[in-house]
Amino acid sequence: MSALKAFRAIVKREFFSYFVSPLAYVVLTAFLLIQGYTFYLIVLALNQPETPRTALMSLFFTSVFYWIFMMLISSVIAMRLLSEERKTGSIEALLTAPVSEATVVAGKFAAGWCFFLFLWLPTVLYPVLLSRFGTLDWGPIASGYLGIALVGALFISAGTFASALTKNQIVAAIIGFVFILGVFIVGVFRDFVTDPGWRDALSYLNLLEHMDDFARGIVDTRRILYVVSTVVFFLFLSTRALEANKGR
Amino acid sequence: MLEVQGLSKSYYGTPAVEDVSFRVETGEILGFLGPNGAGKTTTMRMITGFLPPTAGRVLLADVDVTEKPLEAKRELGYLPETLALYPEMRVREYVAFRAELCGVPSSRRRARVDEAIQKCFVDDVAGKPIGNLSKGYRQRVGLAGALVHGPKVLVLDEPTVGLDPRQIVKVRDLIRDLRKEHTILLSTHILPEVEVLCDRILIIDRGRIVAAGTPDTLRQEMSQAPAVTVVLKGEVSEADSILRQLPGVTRAARIGAGGETRVSLAGAAGSDLRESVFREVVTRGWTLLELTPRQASLEDVFVRLVSRDAAAEVDTMPGVDADAPTPAPGTERPQ
């Protein structure tokens, strides 16, 4: 019970502290610019009669450029989570409160994830806007957002781990980006293996396919399981790293 | 209520703290005194569960910190040496955050936050961002955050460092006030501070406890040589050489000059010079104006106890002026 309270306190504090740093607004602005441009491209594409209308959301995720941008943003969102408190020393007061390292890591991750989801909030306007000019299938749109939330959790958890490894935020961002890139690249190897077994396995790690599925309205529990277990794994690593490094 | 048993910490085989044991009773203030780098902060970090000890155990209100950290830390309020708060938060927000973090039930949170803010005299800045406050205010905000959940034990690491004299007085008054409800362990390298605040003192040097006791017993036990100042009327030329021959006197020296004869005497351990000096003065027919036993100051004790290079550091350490320049965190030798 008290762990839950402490978790809530940490999430709240961490989430709102995003909005006092200029970084948050830079990220927010860049994100909206990119999303706005993507939306513009979607509207252009929809004007072409040959564009399929079934997987509207998948249009968001087709370009690799878009993915790199997501990876960058996630590593920037996550970079300060643990490294900043270790740098300033406020981690000492935090960890001598009756909270466990796991609660702190979970709270930090949750705050970063909430901020990631917050970035996406304005984009809900786009389908609402489109729905005025035609009928939309809301199912795939909802599952598309679920897919985004899952990918976000995956990226932010990798970034959280990077942030637990160093006191330097910039270093944390770079390491985090490498981790996130690693998570992304693993699935891409699907295209380089010939063995059908491996191909199958790797396709579940392929985030492009993941997003494609979700955008089409296919909610595959195996994909959810992959994301959840990877997130738990990264958070476990972060907890251990924090336990080992906190006094240094 | 706070018990430390055989606490040790070593870094890569180099001992930083060795076999430290002590007990602090409820309502008591224990002063933890030592030069910079003696192992004070390391010990305190182990007590608060922030650093795992290499050996030994810590009982906070009878709960083992290593075995049941969450339960033990519920009874702990800790003010770290490098006090880092969240500069963007407002004072009230921060104290409320600590209250929620430490599991104060939401029904009582408001009252507790108000109480802590008033107790630490920060109500006049309750709405200001912490980053805009002076060091003295920040220190008291940290304290308010540390005691908002009503812990039984308070661990304060150098609570008055970097404060101006007026703020020091305020923080000291506050600590004295807190002893009614808390068991307090306080570390400092400022001697007058322990003298005015603490019921008992532990002196630590190079990771070991070198002395323990009340300020008075420490002074008595450690003052191996009784010292007396004798003032005689008029000019008595051989006073020092005559007094030097008294049994038990190890040293006699004229001090000062002028209309009075002033002699400073030092004796062997355990002796009392006053009586023999008095008799000698009477038989010689001198007029005794003053016979004053000098108490060894705690500073004498401290300097004698701590090792030589550390003592040199103490000499340059101002006793009254608490604003001693402390080395930057990076340059300090590992504690």
Q: What is A89-115 written as a DSSP string?
A: SHHHHHHTSS--HHHHHHHHHHHHHHH
B317 pLDDT higher than 50: no
Q: Answer whether B10 touches A (CB < 8 Å).
A: no
**Residue of B193 and A86 predicted with greater confidence:** A86
Estimate the share of chain A in helix, then strand, then coil, as percent rounded to the nearest 5: 80, 0, 20
Closest approach of B113 to chain A, Cα-based (Å): 15
Q: Which residues of B touch A100 (CB under 8 A)?
A: 69-70
Judge: B73–A93 Cβ closer than 8 Å, yes or no: no
CA distance B155 to B171: 14
Among partner residues B88, B100, B101, which is closest to A17 by beta-carbon distance? B88
Q: Answer whether B85 touches A (CB < 8 Å).
A: yes
Q: What is the mean pLDDT of residues B80-86?
A: 87
Q: Supply the pLDDT for residue A179.
A: 95
Judge: A92–B45 Cβ closer than 8 Å, yes or no: yes
Map tokens 């909802």 to a residue: A142
Interface probe for B, chosen from A81, A92, A94 (most Cβ of B below 10 Å), is A92
Q: Supply the pLDDT for residue B304.
A: 62
Could you give the 3-state DSSP secondary structure of residue B335? coil
* Lowest-pLDDT choice from A150-159, B50-59, B284-293: B284-293
Judge: A6–B101 Cβ closer than 8 Å, yes or no: yes
B329 pLDDT higher than 80: no
Q: Which residues of A touch B98 (CB under 8 A)?
A: 97
Model confidence pLDDT, tens digit, residues A153-196: 999 999 999 999 999 999 999 999 999 999 998 888 888 888 88
Closest approach of B325 to chain A, Cα-based (Å): 20
Among partner residues B48, B69, B103, which is closest to A2 by beta-carbon distance? B103
Judge: B85–A90 Cβ closer than 8 Å, yes or no: yes
Q: What is the mean pLDDT of residues B209-217?
A: 82
Phi, psi at B142, each rounded to 5°: -60, -40
Q: What is the mean pLDDT of residues A115-127?
A: 89
Q: Is-contact B155 B79, C-beta < 8 A?
A: yes
**Residue of B263 and B311 predicted with greater confidence:** B263
Q: What is the mean pLDDT of residues B240-250?
A: 81
| Structure token digits, residue B137 | 């205010």
CA distance B234 to B242: 16
Question: How many residue pairs bridge chain A and chain B with CB atoms within 8 Å of each other?
Answer: 80
Among partner residues A5, A88, A247, which is closest to B84 by beta-carbon distance? A88
CA distance A86 to B334: 17
* Residue type (1 letter), B31: G
Mean residue pLDDT across chain A: 87
Judge: B82–A89 Cβ closer than 8 Å, yes or no: yes
Nearest to B232 by CA among B244, B218, B243, B246: B243
Q: What is the percent of chain B with per-residue pLDDT over 90, rounded to a whole number?
A: 20
* Lowest-pLDDT choice from A12-26, B165-179, B224-238: B224-238
Nearest to A144 by CA among A194, A212, A196: A212
B318 pLDDT higher than 60: no
Q: Supply the pLDDT for residue A208.
A: 83
Q: Which residues of B touch A3 (CB under 8 A)?
A: 70
Q: Which residues of A touch B50 (CB under 8 A)?
A: 92, 95-96, 246-247
A101-120 and A22-46 helices, crossing angle to 10°: 40
Q: Answer whether A92 touches B (CB < 8 Å).
A: yes
Mean residue pLDDT across chain B: 81
Q: What is the pTM of this model?
A: 0.79
Q: Which residues of B touch A2 (CB under 8 A)?
A: 70, 103
Q: Residue B325 — very low, low, confident or very high, per pLDDT cuts 50/70/90?
A: very low
Among partner residues A13, A100, A247, which is closest to B50 by beta-carbon distance? A247
**Residue of B132 and B1 predicted with greater confidence:** B132
| Structure token digits, residue A46 | 């929809």
* Lowest-pLDDT choice from A73-77, A116-120, B147-151, B291-295: B291-295
Q: Answer whether A240 touches B (CB < 8 Å).
A: no
Q: Supply the pLDDT for residue B257.
A: 66
Model confidence pLDDT, tens digit, residues A54-95: 555 566 666 666 788 889 999 999 999 999 999 998 999 999
B308 pLDDT higher than 80: no
Judge: B76–A96 Cβ closer than 8 Å, yes or no: yes
In chain B the beta strands, taken as DSSP E runs, fall at 2-11, 14-24, 29-33, 55-60, 63-64, 76-79, 153-157, 183-188, 200-205, 208-213, 227-233, 249-254, 260-267, 288-294
Q: Which residues of A touch B69 (CB under 8 A)?
A: 98, 100
Q: Are strands B14-24 and B183-188 parallel, antiparallel or unpaired?
A: unpaired
Could you give the 3-state DSSP secondary structure of residue B79? strand
Among partner residues A20, A89, A98, which is closest to B102 by beta-carbon distance? A98
Q: Is-contact A161 A63, C-beta < 8 A?
A: no
Closest approach of B74 to chain A, Cα-based (Å): 5
| Selected residues 221-260 of chain B with any CB under 8 Å from a CB in chain A | none
- How many CA atoms within 13 Å lie on the side-chain side of A219? 12
| C-alpha Rg value of chain A to the nearest Å | 19
B330 pLDDT higher than 50: no
Judge: A93–B80 Cβ closer than 8 Å, yes or no: yes
A47 pLDDT higher than 80: no
Q: Are strands B227-233 and B76-79 parallel, antiparallel or unpaired?
A: unpaired
CA distances from B272 to B38, B224, B228, B255 (A): 35, 11, 9, 21
Judge: B103–A95 Cβ closer than 8 Å, yes or no: no
Map tokens 């380089």 to a residue: A192
B323 pLDDT higher than 50: no
Q: Answer whether B50 touches A (CB < 8 Å).
A: yes
- Helix and strand totals (H; E) in chain B: 12, 14
